Amino acid sequence: MYNEEAYDKFLKLKEKEDFYILALESSCDETSASVTLGRKILSCSIASQIDIHKRFGGVVPEIASRNHTLAVGTVVKEALDKANVTLKDISAVAVTEGAGLLGALLVTVSYAKALAFALDIPIIGVNHIAGHIAANYIDSDIKPPFVCLIASGGHSAVAIAKGYNELEILGESVDDAAGEAFDKVARVLGLGYPGGPLIEKLAEQGSPVIDFPKAFKNKPQLNFSYSGLKTAVINYIRNRESKGETVNKADIAASFQKTALEMLIDNCIKAAAEKGFKQICIAGGVGANSVLRKGVEKKASELDINVHYPKNLYCTDNAAMIGVQAYYMIKEGLGYRKTDFDCRPFLKINEK
């Protein structure tokens, strides 16, 4: 059953611009809350758990959930204070419903349900990847349609954002995601977590002299594969070490990064060229990589294609992107959730 009153309020928001959304995100290891006025970000508070998970070399799901529970109240208060509003001003609560770690998602989904119940306002359930794409709308006038390169810890894909709520996938990873490969290779190199920024930094001191294999090379398709590349890096290190040789970690980082990023660069350029798009947007944590950005920009400029990416803060997980996407869902009457809705850990990139 719908809560009829909350649903009526949801439908009325379609006609308005001056309403506040409180957005929440806790799909992995960042607890975040944001207040938006319409599609404008007023605040974004993020509590990162990187220091907690670093010692384990990756995110430990149960520890993540516990720390979301500890942090959620504080980030919500910070976001409200910074936006200079109180809970009474909020017209809708938006929350990441998937994909992500089940126990981690449950924290803000449950928090959102309690808030919606107490304030008698609607809940909007947001797809995390739709949020990453919407990060491009923050501080910019970018509008769909465009080709979108999605590269996060859980997903790699190239897609067409046909509208704010419509995504056509052209290619996806058949195994690991790009960010996952960065994290795994960083772990093998003993660099720590999260791997992406650490590999990018180390790669600056090395040269891409090692020829790691690139999946689907010269094949006319737009899928990605990272598990072979990851295994090639592990084998390279083991082979050298078993012979008593020392390995040059900076060269490995530079070589891995080059191959990993080339796949992303090639596929989004190929997609834009084939489908005739003049705009590419980058979404997800790997989008913070400056070599990726420059690589896409260089090839795109040769074809007269514009490239856009969010600023670093909005590339990795944050609630502001969830608030912006919720705004565009409200405008199309999408995402209203009944208070007994469940979170969706395996939600697909283009699922509503």
295 binds, among ligand KG4, Zn ion, none (CB under 5 to 8 A by kind): none
Q: Nearer to ligand KG4 by C-beta: 154 or 295?
A: 154
Measured CA to CA, the distance from residue 198 to residue 180 in angstroms comes to: 13
176 binds ligand KG4 per the rule CB under 6 A:
no
- CB nearer to Zn ion: pick between 147 and 177: 177
Write out the binding residues for Zn ion, residues 128-167 only, by CB under 5 A: 152
Minimum CB–partner distance for residue 183 and ligand KG4 (Å): 5
Q: State which of residues 170, 316, 327, 347 lies at the interface with ligand KG4 (CB under 6 A).
A: 316
Interacting residue with ligand KG4 among 32, 127, 289, 325 (CB under 6 A): 289
CB of 273 to ligand KG4, least distance (A): 24
Task: Strand 123-127: give its sheet, edge to edge.
Answer: 40-48, 30-37, 20-25, 90-98, 123-127, 336-337
Judged by CB under 6 A, the chain residues 81 through 100 that form the site for ligand KG4 are: none
CA pair distance 279, 270, nearest whole angstrom: 12
Q: Which of 195, 188, 177, 230 is nearest to 50 (CA)?
A: 195
Per CB under 6 A, which of residues 136..155 are in contact with ligand KG4? 152-154
User: Is the link from the previous residue into 194 a cis peptide, with omega within 30 of 0?
Assistant: yes
The tokens for 195 are 């791997």
317, 336, 347, 349: residue in contact with Zn ion (rule CB under 5 A): 317
Question: With binding defined as CB under 6 A, does residue 295 bind ligand KG4?
Answer: no
* Nearest distance, CB of residue 288 and ligand KG4, angstroms: 4
Token digits of residue 67: 């720390």
Six token digits for residue 349 = 């990139």
Question: Among Zn ion, ligand KG4, none, what does residue 196 contact (CB within 5–8 Å per kind)?
Answer: ligand KG4
3-state class of 65 per DSSP?
A: helix
Nearer to ligand KG4, 146 or 256 (CB): 256
Whether the link from the prior residue into 288 is cis, omega within 30° of 0, is no
Instruction: Say how far apart CA 236 and CA 259 lie, in whole Å.
Output: 15
In the structure encoding, which two tokens stand for residue 206, read together? Answer: 């090395």
Size of site (CB under 5 A) for Zn ion? 2
Tokens read off for 234: 């592990």
- Nearest approach, Cβ of residue 132 and Zn ion (Å): 6
Q: Is 194 in the site for ligand KG4 (CB under 6 A)?
A: yes
Q: Which of 129, 143, 94 is nearest to 287 (CA)?
A: 129
Quote the least distance from Cβ 129 to Zn ion, whole Å. 8
CB closer to Zn ion, 147 vs 315:
315
Enumerate residues 11-40 that contact ligand KG4 by CB under 6 A.
28
Q: Estimate the crossing angle of helix 195-203 against helix 290-302, to 10 degrees.
A: 70
State in angstroms the smallest separation of the CB of 307 from ligand KG4.
16
